[in-house]
Structure 1
């Protein structure tokens, strides 16, 4: 079997399960370290000629990270595609289970079993807090409704204050964000790399926490350690 992944978290999942079938990945596929496969460009604009040259039996995409036009072009070329789009932790775990079966794993891999155990009993929060969760600035973009990352935070005691917005990724002005009076600002290090010096200063008087974007937004092997790691980061304001 020959698999090309256009989704960084799924690249990591395949590499941790059946590395021998993975023949191509995007330039943004950074895990596992030292991944040695053909690179096919970005997630939004992959080089489809390079993908097709790898003669894949399956190409992995995500409805949010990849473009519909690329999925349609691959299908038109006769290439089977698998498109994921989990909005909750249980959906992610189920879709990962379906994925590992589709790539020929005889059983669920240890990392997926560990992820199921970890999320069956995540760390209990000391208290529930309402937060704003920026994922970009200039302009500001925050988590809105129906997002996987929002569900991850909810299960760790952090309620997304913008979860009721009509948009999945609203772009409110900074003064509007401040006016919502969040109890917490959650700043991931991807896709925008927020740091202690870039982000917290925009919300004076509100506790800010820096969290791992990979553990907040990726669904793959990182899910096994995400509950404990994120819970610790959420309890450590900068």
Structure 2
């Protein structure tokens, strides 16, 4: 098999499950460290000509991270494109299984079983926000302009399962643009600030929400579906509990 991945989390999943299968990945594919493959541009602007020149048997993509016109161009070049859709934790495990099997594995890798076991110990997300014992959070994913998690997102389900309700879970958009003044007016119990796709830091983000606890979290544990799922409940859960008090 020769595989090109246009999704950082899938790149990591395939690289650790089937070493040597990947021949190309995006510039944003940072894990595993030292991955030595041809870089084919960004997730939103891949070099379709370079990808075609690699003659992959399969291109891995995601309906949220990659653009339809780019995927159509790859199909037009005669390439097979597998497009994943991940809106919650359960769907992540199903799609990861589909991906690794499509890449030639005969069974599920150990890390995938370990990740599923780790999440099996976490209660399912409630169908509706629970009572006052659950903190309500604003979760920015970008700044200039401010964008937050809205409805029907994988990261939102991760947080809900870890006991944190998304203040914008009922918004009609999945990633609404919301002025920071409105975000403050929501009066959240917690602001969750990941380090990707926008790199929020202690000096860039918390100052916009004076008086509100902020959790600076590893975006890989919040938004990636791959080997990081095995440690996400423990690492992300600890960060959220520490910030919420």
- Is the pair's TM-score, using the shorter chain for normalization, greater than 0.5? yes
Residues 135 and 190 of structure 1 are in contact (CA less than 8 Å); yes or no, is this contact kept in structure 2?
Answer: yes
How big is the shift at 1:191?
Answer: 0.7
2:158 to 144, 152, 161: 152
| Match of residue 34 from structure 1 | 34
CA deviations 1:178-216 (Å, max 9, x no partner) are 111101000001111111111111111111111110110
Residues 9 and 219 of structure 1 are in contact (CA less than 8 Å); yes or no, is this contact kept in structure 2?
Answer: yes
1:209 to 203, 207, 215: 215
Unaligned runs of 5+ in 1: none
How big is the shift at 1:122?
Answer: 2.6
Unaligned runs of 5+ in 2: 125-132
Please state whether the residue corresponding to 1:237 is helix, strand or coil: helix
CA deviations 1:102-121 (Å, max 9, x no partner) are 11111110110011001101
Please state whether the residue corresponding to 1:19 is helix, strand or coil: coil
CA deviations 1:153-182 (Å, max 9, x no partner) are 000000000010011111111111111110
1:130 to 104, 125, 136: 136
How big is the shift at 1:236?
Answer: 2.2
Count of residues in correspondence between the two structures: 236
- RMSD (Å), alpha carbons: 1.3
| Match of residue 106 from structure 1 | 106
Residues 123 and 228 of structure 1 are in contact (CA less than 8 Å); yes or no, is this contact kept in structure 2?
Answer: no
The CA distance in 1 between the partners of 2:28 and 2:114, in whole Å, is 25
Runs (4+) of structure 1 exceeding 6 A deviation are: none
Q: TM-score, normalised by structure 1?
A: 0.96
How big is the shift at 1:237?
Answer: 2.4
The CA distance in 1 between the partners of 2:123 and 2:37, in whole Å, is 36
The CA distance in 1 between the partners of 2:185 and 2:47, in whole Å, is 43
The CA distance in 2 between the partners of 1:186 and 1:100, in whole Å, is 31
| Match of residue 13 from structure 1 | 13
Q: TM-score, normalised by structure 2?
A: 0.94
| Match of residue 130 from structure 2 | none
How big is the shift at 1:235?
Answer: 1.8
Please state whether the residue corresponding to 2:243 is helix, strand or coil: coil
User: How do 1:49-88 residues align onto structure 2 when only pairs under 5 Å count?
Assistant: 49-88=49-88
Residues 123 and 231 of structure 1 are in contact (CA less than 8 Å); yes or no, is this contact kept in structure 2?
Answer: no
| Match of residue 178 from structure 1 | 184
The CA distance in 1 between the partners of 2:84 and 2:168, in whole Å, is 24
How big is the shift at 1:123?
Answer: 8.1
Is residue 2:207 matched to residue 1:195? no
